[in-house]
């Protein structure tokens, strides 16, 4: 089949440009629609990310509040532990002297009595003791020294002064006066 165009040449050439214009407008329209849809997709993604960021920010604020509360509880715990340790140390120190007296009583022979007792405490809770004592026999003094020297965990640096013999008001009886220096190491101070 043969196609014949009876339109004048001016009109024929005029219609040829119209196809290109329509094609250009169609391409521009497609680009505008594609750009608009891409813009709205990205806008929607941005809003989702913004909501996620706000949710994470609120979670972070909640976690920071919990961390602050935990830190406050830790500081309170440390304060209470310090107070408890102070009370424990005070109780231990309070019991030091009664324990020393019990230990001294257990080692003291029956016929020895004390005239004077002097105590000094060092930084390690050891007690420096000076005892001015009297005894009816020298055997009791030797027995007492032997008991103390056999218990090296509690008694150390034991030294005995010169023993003085004193007469009593009863004829034929005498007593022995001496000074004993030693260090008492309580069981708590040994650890």
124-141 residue pLDDT tens: 778 899 999 999 888 999
pTM above 0.75, yes or no: no
If pLDDT is split at 50, 70 and 90, which confidence band does 4 have?
confident
> What pLDDT, on a 0 to 100 scale, did the predictor assign at position 151?
86
CATH for 108-190, among 3.30.70, 3.30.1490, 1.10.10, 3.30.420? 3.30.70
Predicted pLDDT at 188: 60
Q: Which residue has the higher pLDDT, 20 or 29?
A: 29
What residues are paired with 134 via a beta bridge?
A: 113, 177
The arithmetic mean of pLDDT across residues 162-191, rounded, is: 81
Is the CB of residue 186 less than 8 Å from the CB of residue 125?
yes
With 90 as the cut, is the pLDDT of residue 41 above it? yes
Indicate if the pLDDT at residue 191 is higher than 60.
no
Phi, psi of 30, deg, nearest 5: -65, -40
């Amino acid at each position: 089949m043969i196609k014949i165009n009876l339109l004048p040449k001016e009109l024929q050439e005029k219609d040829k440009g119209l196809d290109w214009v329509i094609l250009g407008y169609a391409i521009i329209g497609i680009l505008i629609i594609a750009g608009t849809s891409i813009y709205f997709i990205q806008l929607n993604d941005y809003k989702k990310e913004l909501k996620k960021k706000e949710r994470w920010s609120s979670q972070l604020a909640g976690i920071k509040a919990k961390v602050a509360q935990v830190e406050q509880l830790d500081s309170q715990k440390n304060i209470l532990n310090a107070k408890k340790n102070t009370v424990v140390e005070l109780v231990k120190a309070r019991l030091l002297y009664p324990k020393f007296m019990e230990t001294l009583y257990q080692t003291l022979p029956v016929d020895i009595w004390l005239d004077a007792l002097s105590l000094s405490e060092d930084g390690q809770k050891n007690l420096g003791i000076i005892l001015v004592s009297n005894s009816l026999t020298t055997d009791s003094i030797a027995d007492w020294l032997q008991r103390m020297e056999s218990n090296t965990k509690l008694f150390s640096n034991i030294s005995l002064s010169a023993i003085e013999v004193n007469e009593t008001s009863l004829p034929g009886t005498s007593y022995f006066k001496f000074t004993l220096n030693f260090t008492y190491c309580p069981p708590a101070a040994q650890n």
